[in-house]
Structure 1
């Protein structure tokens, strides 16, 4: 699981400078996914509604693919 988590955090770090600033602290539960609470640490204006729009598979968390799709849709800033 550690390589997957590190890969995810590296991807976030390259893709979102705002998230990169707190990448080591973002995934507080260490599952390799970002929850709304974790995203709001560095992007406090993220609402439940906008997070739901980014959460393509409706699992309550963002994976690397969902972050990329959210960037392409303009819901998250691009790096």
Structure 2
């Protein structure tokens, strides 16, 4: 993982304390996944690289398991 990615992920965990709690509100199309566009609507500094670091299955979206793993790792705040 690059320093840039680690820096983003650290900032991501601190940037919006309500992000995890509001995950369902972020899911604007209601499909149960968070896309880069949905995350960038709240965190415009999110890059494709940093999003990919959380998108462990590389499907282009964060599912509940990926959000949970990111939360457990301290990369996203818990709800």
Structure 2 length-normalised TM: 0.62
Count of matched residue positions in the alignment of Structure 1 and Structure 2? 63
Give structure 2 stretches of 5+ with no counterpart: 1-16
Choose between structure 1 and 2: higher strand proportion: 2
SS in structure 1 of the partner of residue 67 of structure 2 = helix
- 2:9 paired with 1:18: no
Q: Is the Cα–Cα contact under 8 Å of residues 24 and 32 in structure 2 kept in the other structure? A: no
Q: Distance in 2 between matches of 1:41 and 1:20?
A: 16
Gaps of 5+ in 1: 1-15
Q: Where does residue 11 of structure 1 map in the other structure?
A: none
Does the aligned pair in 1 maintain the 2:36–2:61 contact within 8 Å?
yes
Greater RCO, CA 8 A, separation 6+: 2
Match of 1:60 in 2: 60
1:1-79 equivalent positions in 2, closer than 5 A: 17-21=18-22, 23-24=24-25, 26-79=26-79
2: CA distance between counterparts of 1:34 and 1:74?
Answer: 18
Structure 1 residue 28: deviation in Å? Answer: 2.2
How far the C-alpha of 1:47 sits from its partner, in A, is 1.7
* Secondary structure of residue in 2 paired with 1:41: helix
